[in-house]
Amino acid sequence: MFASEVPEGKGFPAGNHRMFPWGDEAMQQVFPGLGNRGASRGNCPGAEVLSLARWEMGCNVSGMIVLIRHGRTDWTDLRLHTGRKDMPLNEEGRSEARKAAFKLEGFSFQTILSSPLARARETAEICGFGPQLVTVDDLMEWNYGDYEGLTVEQIREKEPAWTPWTHGYPGGEKHDEVADRARRVLERVQNEPGPVAIFAHGHLLRTLAACYLGLPPVFAAQLMLQTGCISVLDREFDLPAIRRWNR
């Protein structure tokens, strides 16, 4: 969303406000067919990604937690378990981060947290939040232990029925330990007066969402989350709820 599209008197809460500096040419490279800044959503094959701030207009954004999974890396492209391995984004991942930046256009955050791992920090920086970023060790990805760098197929050669949620990661963290870290992050932001952005990793963010909902951490197994996607946690009738997921 662009500044010119914010109706008078309908601005966003004070905080870390990022207005994306790119022009129409850069937008065309990311979203071919967009046309121009005033193009309607119907004119762009992916235009809904531009609409997070517009979509939240009229909502009470003060308690929202916006989750952003980092973009792709060379290891995620190979479907290798990437826990504590500090991989940078690849070019496709940087493109996903730029698309995430468009989704967040015009949105203002009270607090911006990130995993200290490079792929999460770089995603946040490409989105324009580098100067306000606070890194939090509890947002690091699940420690995969002996399975770091392996594919699911390689793991299942030894354990045919293996899943992260049922068997875990020998030599790494238990899922309950990941959930404990996620809960500490939620406790940290629960009293923030404005919306919060969290840049982190797939398994960690899925677990954090399950904990936010007050469900067993294993519910994360049912919350698929792609690289570069945005999700929004909120409340309705004073109950924790998912406003949008994996967008």
141 is known as an active-site residue: yes
Distance CA(86)–CA(116), nearest Å, equals 9
The closest of 168, 173, 164, 116 to 139, measured between CA atoms, is 116
Asked if 70 contacts 140 with a C-beta cutoff of 8 angstroms, the reply is: no
Radius of gyration in angstroms for the set of CA atoms belonging to the chain, rounded to a whole number: 18
Give the helix/strand (H/E) hosting 208.
helix 202-212
203 is known as an active-site residue: no
Catalytic residue among 70, 81, 175, 201: 70
Residue type, 28: Q
- In the block, which residue shows the tokens 């100067």? 131
Catalytic residue among 96, 105, 122, 141: 141
Distance CA(25)–CA(16), nearest Å, equals 26
Distance CA(141)–CA(202), nearest Å, equals 8
Distance CA(201)–CA(151), nearest Å, equals 17
* Pair of tokens at residue 175: 């899922």
Report the catalytic residues.
70, 141
